[in-house]
């Protein structure tokens, strides 16, 4: 695949060293190109990229609040349409909290209305901007500052909310999951999303060195382990047609993924087994 | 003075802020070993490795992803 | 053209004349018919606008901010709970300097639930950075919308406007309204072409950035300066409006105040009732007047002082309550000028205010039982 050289997110942004979110945004923007308007929800990405009087964005960009990226994007899209600028891509970036929790209503509304927007959820599985609090996308067993492990707790006690499937249930013509560790797969999906007439939703898995507790150099490795263990599955749903886009040659035990992160370090064998069983069950259904 | 609505009209102006000073370890690429796979370019969170594999140390925060993801170990992390 | 219509219809007609390009709205009693009229204008091709049927008021104002940020004229409308749900984004719209115009059908806030009129909803948004104009009748609702765009879009202002109409009292009663010609409105209201911020790939900029303590205060101070400048802009726009349409407005309306011993200060539809009472009392030789506040924000303190300074006493009528301190308008007038003012809380949740109530207010003000007393008009005491 030909990957455009041009960068639309400038360096000098204030992300942590080894940030996965900025990798995801860089790759997405390469595919979307300069004829794009970006909307950000409040969160890490918004804060690190626009420290006034500077901005890392080389394309037009707007941030309004935490829970309304999809609604703002709706307004931007229609306003561009009213000006005859139908060819401009409108992309919204929101974290897992801004998508699965506080932003779900606005997202549901925008998707159901069928706006021609691309919504990319950069999922680092907790509220990282405020210091690693549990979100609806936090996986089972993860210790966060609001779901800490302790004498009577093994951390988060609910599985991850399945947002891509909720989006698919809206009849969104293009839904996909992706990982920053599989850039070609992700970028192809962004291209398809761009070419989709109507809304597109991409759920991008993105390791976070600060929140997950691993060495910053391992960001890509962690994303890869998530996929290779079946903890995160890469698929797309095109007009309702489900297809797995990447199958690990041989699925690794989930333990490899869990043990390389501080947030799962506390887990007893019993909980790890429960996670493995959960992953096995999903992978069996999808023949992974 | 703050601009009206705190709008920033210079795209990509974060480049005025050099994040290279954050670095503890510095990636050094041995271009002779490089096989031109583009992994380091794609995976750099700062986007500060160009197509000729020159690392812009003004911005490199020293995360080490490039060294980790280099399939031929052409990048070494050296203490500053 | 004279049509006998409701304030909601008048407001929608004004929006049609102002030609916004994007209209995100969500229905709520008693605003709903505004949404419906606009939807039918768009459906019939009489208004070329993108109408977004959002899933909440929060998204209505969010989409309006996105659209306005893109550089197009934008309208939305709401009421009560809907305005409260917008609260967070009202501040963002003002801070982003989006000249959005909104219609608000004034209605009480829950709990207990009430769909009827008072002005607690918009008054509770007074610090959001929006200008607020209160209409006395349907004609004013129409005229204020058209002027609000011109005021909000002025480069020295760039703040959003809220045109407030009393729920049911105005929104659902009909009266004759003079609807201007499109050509006259086009002449009066030029197209919106923002310079300060817009989203265009040909000239990329970042809107809604993150400011540290070195920059935030200046951004807010600029809004204060803009709100202060808005007073002169309003006067100028009022004058231009009068030249084209023949109807004269100001930040306040001075009704028989010149030699008045007692002046009532009020906002919105109640002013109609007060004017009728004043006329009948004047016939009996009582020197009473009304100062109608049209612009609640920017707060026209100089105009108010000018009008009331020679009165013996004034009465401030509030359709809102800031618990433990009284009506907001009463408090603001007391805070800004040295005048003897009795405060009256009335009409909450649609409680009727009769001419007799106004007469009693004037009596109480003339001979106050205690200075600066706050009276709840018509409150039913426990038996």
Confidence of residue A132 (pLDDT cuts 50, 70, 90): very high
Q: Per-residue pLDDT tens for C282-308? A: 999 999 999 999 999 999 999 999 999
Angle between helices C80-95 and C57-69 in degrees, nearest 10:
30
Full-model pTM: 0.97
pLDDT of residue A54: 98
Interface confidence: ipTM more than 0.85:
yes
- Is the confidence at residue A265, as pLDDT, over 70? yes
CA A243 – CA B69 distance, rounded (Å): 28
Sequence-separated (6 or more) residues with CB below 8 Å from residue C276:
C355
Count H helices, E strands: chain C? 12, 16
How many pairs of residues across A and C have Cβ atoms under 8 Å apart? 161
**Tokens in use for B15?**
């480049």
Q: Is A215 helix (H, G, I), strand (E, B) or coil?
A: coil
Q: Per-residue pLDDT tens for A89-131? A: 999 999 999 999 999 999 999 999 999 999 999 999 999 999 9
Q: Is C348 helix (H, G, I), strand (E, B) or coil?
A: helix
Sequence-separated (6 or more) residues with CB below 8 Å from residue C255:
C271, C274, C275, C278, C289, C290, C291, C292
- Is the confidence at residue C24, as pLDDT, over 80? yes
Q: What percent of chain B has pLDDT over 90?
A: 99
Q: Per-residue pLDDT tens for C191-215? A: 999 999 999 999 999 999 999 999 9
Query: Under an 8 A CB cutoff, do C67 and A78 touch?
Result: yes
pLDDT of residue A1: 82
State the smallest CA–CA distance between residue A7 and chain B in angstroms: 7
Q: Is A210 helix (H, G, I), strand (E, B) or coil?
A: helix
Give the DSSP letter of residue A60: -
Which residue shows structure tokens 């109807």?
C247
Q: Per-residue pLDDT tens for A172-189? A: 999 999 999 999 999 999
Among candidate residues C98, C90, C30, the one with its CA nearest the CA of residue C60: C90
- To test the contact with chain C by mutation, choose from B5, B12, B13, B16 the residue with the greatest count of C C-beta atoms within 10 A, namely B5
State phi, psi for C288 to the nearest 5 degrees.
-125, 150
DSSP H or E stretch at residue A149: strand A149-150
CA C30 – CA C80 distance, rounded (Å): 9
- Is the confidence at residue A281, as pLDDT, over 80? yes
Q: What percent of chain B has pLDDT over 70?
A: 100
Write out the residues of chain B at the interface with chain C, using a CB-CB cutoff of 8 A: 1-9, 11
Report the Cα–Cα distance between both ends of chain C, in Å, rounded: 54
Q: Which domains does chain C have, with CATH numbers?
A: 2-245 (3.40.50.970), 252-376 (3.40.50.920)
Give the DSSP letter of residue B56: -
> Are A60 and A77 a contacting pair, CB within 8 Å?
no
CA C151 – CA C101 distance, rounded (Å): 10
> Are A120 and A130 a contacting pair, CB within 8 Å?
no
Chain C, 144 to 163: residues with Cβ < 8 Å from chain B are 158
Q: Given its phi and psi angles, is residue B47 left (phi above 0), alpha (psi -120 to 50 degrees) or beta? A: left
Query: Under an 8 A CB cutoff, do C219 and B1 touch?
Result: no
State the smallest CA–CA distance between residue A68 and chain C in angstroms: 6
Q: Per-residue pLDDT tens for A59-73? A: 999 999 999 999 999
- Is the confidence at residue C54, as pLDDT, over 70? yes
Among candidate residues B43, B48, B45, the one with its CA nearest the CA of residue A186: B43
Average pLDDT score over residue span C62-69: 98
């Amino acid at each position: 695949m030909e990957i455009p050289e041009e960068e639309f997110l400038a360096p000098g942004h204030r992300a942590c060293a080894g940030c996965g979110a900025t990798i995801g945004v860089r790759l997405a923007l390469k595919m979307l190109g300069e004829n794009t308007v970006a909307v950000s929800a409040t969160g890490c990405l918004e804060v690190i990229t626009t420290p006034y009087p500077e901005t890392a964005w080389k394309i037009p960009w707007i941030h309004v609040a935490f829970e309304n990226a999809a609604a703002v994007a709706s307004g931007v899209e229609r306003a561009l349409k009213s000006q005859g600028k139908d060819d401009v891509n409108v992309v919204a970036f929101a974290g897992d909290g801004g998508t699965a929790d506080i932003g779900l209503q606005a997202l549901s509304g925008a998707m159901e209305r069928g706006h021609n927007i691309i919504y990319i959820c950069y999922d680092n599985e907790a509220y990282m901007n405020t210091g690693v609090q549990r979100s609806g996308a936090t996986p089972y067993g993860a210790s966060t500052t609001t779901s800490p492990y302790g004498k009577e707790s093994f951390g988060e006690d609910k599985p991850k909310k399945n947002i891509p499937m909720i989006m698919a249930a809206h009849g969104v013509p293009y839904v996909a999951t992706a990982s920053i560790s599989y850039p070609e797969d992700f970028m192809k999906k962004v291209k398809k999303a761009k070419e989709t007439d109507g809304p597109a939703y991409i759920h991008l898995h993105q390791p976070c060195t600060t929140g997950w507790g691993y060495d910053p150099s391992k960001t890509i490795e962690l994303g890869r382990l998530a996929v290779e263990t079946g903890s995160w599955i890469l698929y797309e749903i095109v007009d309702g047609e489900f297809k797995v886009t990447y199958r690990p040659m041989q699925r690794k035990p989930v333990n490899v993924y869990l043990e390389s992160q501080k947030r799962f370090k506390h887990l007893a064998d019993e909980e790890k087994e429960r996670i493995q069983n959960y992953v096995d069950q999903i992978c069996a259904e999808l023949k992974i | 003075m703050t601009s009206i609505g705190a709008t920033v009209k210079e795209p990509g102006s974060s480049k005025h802020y050099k994040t290279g000073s954050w670095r503890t370890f510095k990636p050094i690429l041995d271009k002779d070993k490089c096989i031109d796979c583009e992994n380091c370019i794609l995976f750099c969170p700062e986007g500060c490795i160009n197509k000729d594999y020159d690392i812009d140390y003004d911005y490199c925060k020293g995360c080490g992803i490039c060294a980790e993801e280099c399939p031929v170990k052409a990048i070494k992390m050296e203490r500053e | 053209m004279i049509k006998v219509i409701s304030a909601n219809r008048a407001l929608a007609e004004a929006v049609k004349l102002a030609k916004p390009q994007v209209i995100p709205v969500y229905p709520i009693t008693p605003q709903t018919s505004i949404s419906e009229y606009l939807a039918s204008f768009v459906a019939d091709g009489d208004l070329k606008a993108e109408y977004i049927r959002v899933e909440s008021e929060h998204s209505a104002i969010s989409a309006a901010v996105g659209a306005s940020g893109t550089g197009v004229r934008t309208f939305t409308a709401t009421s009560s709970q809907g305005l409260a749900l917008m609260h967070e984004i009202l501040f963002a719209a003002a801070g982003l300097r989006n000249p959005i115009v909104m219609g608000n059908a004034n209605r009480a806030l829950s709990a207990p639930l009430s769909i009827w009129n008072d002005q607690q909803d918009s008054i509770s948004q007074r610090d959001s950075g929006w200008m607020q104009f209160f209409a006395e009748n349907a004609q004013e609702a129409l005229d204020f919308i058209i002027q609000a765009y011109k005021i909000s879009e002025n480069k020295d202002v760039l703040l959003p406007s809220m045109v407030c109409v009393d729920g049911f009292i105005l929104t659902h009663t009909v009266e004759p309204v003079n609807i201007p010609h499109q050509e006259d409105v086009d002449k009066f209201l030029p197209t919106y072409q923002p310079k300060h911020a817009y989203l265009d790939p040909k000239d990329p900029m970042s809107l809604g950035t993150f400011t540290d303590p070195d920059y935030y205060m200046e951004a807010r101070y600029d809004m204060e300066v803009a709100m202060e400048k808005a007073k002169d802009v309003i006067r100028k726009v009022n004058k231009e409006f009068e030249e084209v349409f023949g109807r004269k407005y100001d930040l306040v309306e001075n009704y028989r105040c010149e030699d008045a011993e007692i002046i009532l200060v009020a906002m919105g539809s109640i002013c109609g009732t007060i004017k009728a009472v004043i006329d009948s009392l004047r016939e009996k030789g009582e020197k009473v007047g009304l100062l109608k506040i049209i612009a609640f924000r920017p707060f026209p303190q100089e105009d108010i002082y000018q009008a009331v300074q020679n009165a013996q006493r004034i009465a401030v009528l509030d359709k809102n309550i800031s618990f433990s301190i009284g009506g907001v308008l009463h408090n603001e007038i007391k805070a800004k000028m040295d005048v003897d003012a009795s405060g009256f809380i009335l009409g909450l949740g649609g409680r009727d205010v009769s001419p007799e109530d106004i007469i009693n207010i004037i009596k109480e003000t003339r001979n106050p039982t205690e200075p600066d007393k706050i009276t709840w008009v018509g409150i039913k005491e426990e038996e």
